[in-house]
Chain A
Amino acid sequence: MKVLTVTLNPALDREIFIDGFKVDKLHRVSSKEKMTLSPGGKGINVSLALAKLGIPSIATGFLGGYMGRILLEELRKASNLITTNFVFIKEETRENIAIIDEKSHTITEINSPGPEIEEKDIEHILRRYAMSLTRVEAVVISGSIPVNAPRDIYVKMVKMAKEKGVPAFMEVRDPYIITLYENDAMPDVIKPDFRASHTLLGKDLKTLEDFVSAGKELLKTGAKLAVLSYFIDKDVLVLDEASYIIGPTIEIDYSHLLGTGDTYVAGMVYKYLQGERDMLEIGKFGYVAALASTRTAEKELPSLDEIETFMQYFEIERVG
């Protein structure tokens, strides 16, 4: 097994394609192909993307109830390269809804908060996490945590990975990053989840300088690479020695951006597993993987050949 992915708050993803979507209006979906149901949550999405690239992974996290069982079955059907090791909880797994409007080029996302967990569930998952760490070369920890879970669970997970010498890749929102920062537990690769707001360590990022200096702050507590999404289709890659801005040379349909962050992380992990240790190359490959995943609106993941094709469609410039 190569990778362990952690999704503490997974979801069943429901994608609905509605052209000309408007609030406060009745919409009839034209065919069943325009409504899809798939396993989701950031870590699970990374497992799915890695499977498409031929990389086996263990997916762990919390699942519960009817939704949890559907998610597990769908995940098992998706690929034999994904081994499941979930902790089952009392409450129901959540459902995430994305309304994709290809006519207006918009995505409207509604993510529910998910279930509460019991104290014993935390102890249960940490022990299984420790066991799985002995079998993998990298760990991906992404997404939100259950509403009542202790905020320091990610701190514990990153520290356990570091103790075992397993590099950690994370994509999470700012409140979690603040806790990691305060506890000196930054993962090797950190990609702040900016979908709700461009805020890092509690500060709003506006200028390119803001992005670079916030990224450098993350490196001070242990990160080797910080990937900061810079206004939709560009990213700022912050490394110890320099910072770069990377962007596409082709036009991107913004309604095709669903799940690209997870493909980005999967791309970086893939490159690391191929033996690449230059963080800039790892960041570039992740960006191109994400770029390749924008070719369709559906959460359809790119193959290695498709990623290679997109290697010609980006530009990178040193910014600091």
Chain B
Amino acid sequence: MKVSDVMVFDISAVFEDETVERVIDMMSKQFVTGIPVVDEDMKVVGFITDNDIMKASIPSYFALLQSASFLPDTNQFVKNMARIREHKVSEYMSKPPIVIKEDAPLIHAADLMMRHNIKTIPVVDNDGRLVGIITKIDVLKAALEGGLE
């Protein structure tokens, strides 16, 4: 089975110069946790997730703590978010993006998801232009139905 057999033919994406605020707005309205970043030719140049934005807005010393639950409030988090909301997507996206071609075997998508610990991969054509996305649940569903090979 190929990626094109189970992928979602949706090319919702953001541009590199769009803001963090717009990405959060899109994610919340579309119930997704990651969005491909494209240029004006629809070539995929990056991928941005809720996790990328969370990392950018949570104070870096949090990573050194075993728990942040003793902290009295979320002021620093809110302040950081206010600081980055107008920032460009290009500052926080992952690049180069992990992409997959529509005619690739489905097992290749599963392998990429495991190796890079990602839930969604942009699907591209031979010119690297976005044609859709494939999610972990699409792959799992195909496996459940016996179609991974």
Q: Which A residues have a C-beta under 8 Å from some C-beta of B? A: 58, 64, 69, 76, 80, 82-86, 88-90, 120, 124, 127, 130-132, 134-135
Tell me if A's interface is mostly helix, strand, loop or mixed: mixed
- Which residues of chain B have C-beta atoms less than 8 A from A124's C-beta? 22
Structural contact, B8 and A88, CB atoms closer than 8 A: no
Residues of B participating in the A interface, judged by any CB pair closer than 8 Å? 4, 8-12, 15, 22, 26, 29-31, 38, 40-42, 129, 131-132
B132 interface neighbour in A83, A89, A132, A134, Cβ under 8 Å: A83
A-B contact pairs, 27 of them (CB 8 A): A58-B11, A69-B31, A76-B10, A80-B4, A82-B9, A83-B9, A84-B9, A84-B10, A84-B12, A85-B11, A85-B12, A88-B26, A88-B30, A89-B29, A90-B29, A120-B22, A124-B22, A127-B15, A131-B41, A131-B42, A132-B11, A132-B42, A134-B40, A134-B41, A134-B42, A135-B42, A135-B129
In the complex, the answer to whether A86 meets B41 with C-beta atoms within 8 Å is: no
A-B pairs, top 10 by smallest CB distance, nearest first, are A88-B29, A83-B9, A84-B10, A85-B11, A88-B30, A131-B42, A83-B11, A80-B9, A131-B40, A85-B12
Give the residue name and chain of the A residue nearest to B11 (CB).
A85
Considering the chains assembled together, what is the distance between the CA atoms of A88 and B29 in angstroms? 6
Which chain A positions have C-beta within 8 A of B22?
Answer: 120, 124
The smallest beta-carbon distance between A295 and chain B, in angstroms, is: 29
Q: Given the complex, which residues of B lie within 8 Å of A134, measured CB to CB?
A: 40-42
Q: Which chain A positions have C-beta within 8 A of B8? A: 76
Alpha-carbon gap, A259 to B11, bound state (A)? 27
For A132, what are the chain B residues with a Cβ–Cβ distance below 8 Å? 11, 42
Task: Report B103 CB to chain A, min CB distance, Å.
Answer: 14
Taking the nearest CB of chain A, how far is it from the CB of B21, in angstroms? 10
Specify which chain B residues have a CB less than 8 angstroms from the CB of A88 in the assembled complex: 26, 29-30
Chain B residues near A64 (CB-CB < 8 A): 29
Contact for A76 among B9, B11, B42, CB less than 8 A = B9
Given contacts A76-B9, A83-B132, 19 further A-B contacts (CB under 8 A): A58-B11, A64-B29, A80-B4, A80-B9, A83-B131, A84-B9, A84-B10, A85-B10, A86-B12, A88-B29, A88-B30, A120-B22, A124-B22, A131-B38, A131-B40, A131-B41, A131-B42, A134-B40, A134-B41
Chain B nearest CB from A234 CB (Å) reads 38
Q: Which residues of A contact B26 (CB under 8 A)?
A: 88
